[in-house]
Amino acid sequence: MIVKSMLWRRSTLLTLLGLPLLILVVILPFVEKTTENTQVRIDVVDPYNQSYVEQMVNRLNDRESFSLNLNDQLELSQLARGEVEAIFVVEDQFQEKVEEGETENILTWYRHEHSLVDGLFKEYFASTLMEDIVRSEAANIVTDETEMATWNEAYQYGAQFFRPEPLFQMNFTTYESNTIEGEDSSNWPIALVWAYMILIIVYFSSWLYEWRNRGVFDRLAVFPHGKFRLHLTWIKNVLGTILIASLGFMGINEWLKIMALDFGQYGLLALVSVISLFIIWLISFFIRSRHVLIAVTTIYTVIGVALVLLVEWDMLSVQNWYQIWLPFWFVN
Amino acid sequence: MLALNDVTYKRKKKVLIKDISGEIKQGDCISLFGPNGAGKSTLLKLIAGLETPSSGTCVNENQEKISIGYVPQQLALFDHMTVRDHLTYYEKMTKQINQRYVNEMIEVLGLKDVLNLNVESLSGGMARKLNLAIGLIHEPDLILLDEAFVGVDLATKHDMLTWLHQLNEQGATNVMISHDWHVIEHIAQSMWILDDGELIDRFPIAQVDQKQREYGYYTGRDLRKMFALRR
Ligand SMILES: Nc1ncnc2c1ncn2[C@@H]1O[C@H](COP(=O)(O)OP(=O)(O)OP(=O)(O)O)[C@@H](O)[C@H]1O
Ligand SMILES: [Mg+2]
């Protein structure tokens, strides 16, 4: 019954559910970007719609690491926005130039100063082009010297040096890992989750103050263990909420792999949250004003999380007395 | 039933109750009377055992433990809980609950029609009645009421007083704080006059006319006025 009294408030539901959802909505796009969409987008622009270019793009597109698009218009703003890593613009009469063995001025490479891996694609593009250029050039020479073979026969003959694979091969292995690699497992995200737990506890502490101010505890005091029972109900409800929040966080984190945590760290989070609960419950007996309690816990939490951040960013070295800040229990 | 011996109560070095002695006998109906801030609520809490005296004692003279019903001055209710849930919650606080008594009380206080309403949707008077009903739910030996009749309509007040009078006749002891002469004269058997933390007078209700004349001249402005308004 008291559960209903405590939870049946719009602000409660908003705080307990809305906040994690909000955080999730903010975090989710980043997570998807990093775990799924690792392909680098490269654009090839052909203002003249040449079928040879289309073939070439299809040949190039079988590499998993690159996602290749063929456009007929150059849009450099995409580079600035980081939507594409690089843009290659081909000249008119591309095929003819390749077949004549022309290697200059057939391609323009646009990149952004932040582009990183487009060089790899350039090499790949160039080597594919070189294959055609070399074979064409060979066929040109052969047909110039003799009439025993046609240009096409000579051109096809050259393919054996490139197909099924080019002569020179490098071994290529993709390293796959299903946990997110932190540089070293970082602790500040879990400190933030702890701060969220504090928020929950402080939020629920308002009921203790309300019951006290309204005389609910007074009226219960005349019953055997009356006050104690209401305190117990409160503790149970907050414990339950913390537990559900922890499990929810664990579930979401294991599912989306936001941060790499082992069960020991989840356990530590739960333990530290429970300790926080009892500390806040105890000091609520001494701090008679709810606002003072909120101020004290907020200051404590903010300083604790800030210290953890500073230590994680190597701007501060851990000192022993930092252990009075509960989030430092996560730092080892 | 209960004896107060030189009870003094201080908070933050301020003396709120000064050296009060007195006896509450079984079957009494005492009205604590005095101006705002006199210390009536504080004294009632001391009697209820919610606060401990800084010096002096408040002793239960009975052999057995007495059960106390305390109705605070504020509406001490839970949010978002129905009237029925409130009654059930407090019924669970006691081992044996007299369901017939509870039903009768609900009937008399007119709470029967609002059992399923949330406390937010109760009118002020209805909430008062629930506040009172909760305090009486376990048939307490000692009933302590802190301005339990504020904002209650006359008909309901009459019913509440009748109910309290009935409990009193059956042996319950009553200590109440009220500024309402109608209430006092209806059920009080004696009056304790408090002013500035001191118990300045104690007399049976039969002497109230005589006291009114006395207080018409010799006391502080607030008390004089309060007695004058009795008519
Ligand atoms: N929590 C508190 N801390 C400090 N002083 C208090 C506290 N509660 C009450 N007092 C002081 O104790 C004195 C007596 O208060 P009390 O509530 O007992 O008065 P009262 O006679 O019930 O008044 P009222 O008729 O207004 O209810 C007042 O002067 C008040 O300022
Ligand atoms: Mg009072």
**Nearest protein CA to atom 14 of ligand 1, as residue:** B39
- pLDDT classification of B102: cutoffs 50, 70, 90: very high
CB contact B214 to A (< 8 Å): no
Query: Are the Cβ atoms of B70 and A222 closer than 8 angstroms?
Result: yes
Pick the more confident residue, A322 or A28. Answer: A322
Please report, for residues A7, A269, B219, B220, the alpha-carbon distance to residue A3 in angstroms, rounded to integers and kept in the order given: 6, 24, 51, 49
Run of H or E including B9: strand B2-11
B163, B186 in Cβ contact below 8 A? no
Query: Are the Cβ atoms of A5 and B81 closer than 8 angstroms?
Result: yes
Closest residue of chain A to B138, computed from CA coordinates: A223
Half-sphere exposure of A113 (CA within 13 A, CB side): 0
Instruction: Compute the distance between CA of residue B104 and CA of residue B98 in angstroms, rounded to an integer.
Output: 10
SS3 per-residue string spanning A41-83 = EEEEECCCCCHHHHHHHHHHCCCCCEEEEEECCCCCHHHHCCC
A236, A242 in Cβ contact below 8 A? no
Spell out the alpha helix ranges (H) of B112-172. Answer: 124-136, 154-169
The residue among A240, A261, A252 whose CA lies nearest residue A190 is A261
Q: To the nearest whole angstrom, how far is the Cα of A225 from the nearest Cα of chain B?
A: 8
**Mean pLDDT on A270-290:** 94
Q: To the nearest whole angstrom, how far is the Cα of B162 from the nearest Cα of chain A?
A: 23
Query: pTM to 2 decimals?
Result: 0.72
Instruction: Beginning with the edge strand found earlier in the chain, give each strand of the sheet holding A40-45 in spatial order.
Output: A66-71, A40-45, A86-90, A107-111
User: Rounded to the nearest 5 degrees, what angle is found at the Cα of A187, between the Cα atoms of A181 and A193?
Assistant: 110
CB contact B55 to A (< 8 Å): no
Run of H or E including A186: none
Query: Are the Cβ atoms of A222 and B71 closer than 8 angstroms?
Result: no
The residue among A77, A106, A97, A170 whose CA lies nearest residue A137 is A97
- pLDDT classification of A183: cutoffs 50, 70, 90: very low
Q: If you search the block for the tokens 């040449």, which residue do you land on?
A: A50
Pick the more confident residue, A327 or A181. Answer: A327
**Mean pLDDT on B95-99:** 86
**What are the backbone angles phi and psi of residue A42, rounded to the nearest 5°?**
-125, 135
- pLDDT > 70: what percent of chain A? 86
Run of H or E including A15: none
Q: What is the pLDDT of residue A174?
A: 56
Q: If you search the block for the tokens 């109900």, which residue do you land on?
A: A233
User: Rounded to the nearest 5 degrees, what angle is found at the Cα of B91, between the Cα atoms of B140 and B32?
Assistant: 30
B111, B126 in Cβ contact below 8 A? yes
Half-sphere exposure of B64 (CA within 13 A, CB side): 5
A22-81 per-position pLDDT tens digit:
777 776 666 555 554 567 788 899 988 888 888 888 888 776 677 888 888 888 888 888
DSSP state of A274: H
Q: What is the pLDDT of residue A185?
A: 56
Q: What is the pLDDT of residue A139?
A: 84
Strand-pair partners of B192 = B32, B202
Closest residue of chain A to B145, computed from CA coordinates: A219
B223, B35 in Cβ contact below 8 A? yes
B116-134 per-position pLDDT tens digit:
999 999 998 899 999 999 9
What ligand has the least distance to the C-alpha of B46? Answer: 1
* CA terminus-to-terminus distance, chain A: 42
Instruction: Compute the distance between CA of residue A309 and CA of residue A304 in angstroms, rounded to an integer.
Output: 9
- pLDDT classification of A8: cutoffs 50, 70, 90: low
- Which of B75, B79, B118 would best serve as a mutation to test chain A binding (most A beta carbons within 10 A)? B79
Q: What is the pLDDT of residue A167?
A: 54
What ligand has the least distance to the C-alpha of B16? Answer: 1
A100, A134 in Cβ contact below 8 A? no
Ligand 1 atom nearest to B34, measured from its CA: 21
**What are the backbone angles phi and psi of residue A2, rounded to the nearest 5°?**
-65, -30
Closest residue of chain A to B133, computed from CA coordinates: A219
Give B201's contacts (C-beta < 8 A, 6+ positions apart): B191, B192, B193, B211
CB contact A237 to B (< 8 Å): no
**Nearest protein CA to atom 27 of ligand 1, as residue:** B36
Spell out the alpha helix ranges (H) of chain A. Answer: 2-7, 10-13, 19-35, 51-60, 77-80, 94-99, 118-145, 151-158, 188-214, 216-221, 226-256, 263-286, 290-312
A158, A151 in Cβ contact below 8 A? no
B44-72 per-position pLDDT tens digit:
999 999 999 999 999 888 878 889 999 99
Q: To the nearest whole angstrom, how far is the Cα of B99 from the nearest Cα of chain A?
A: 18
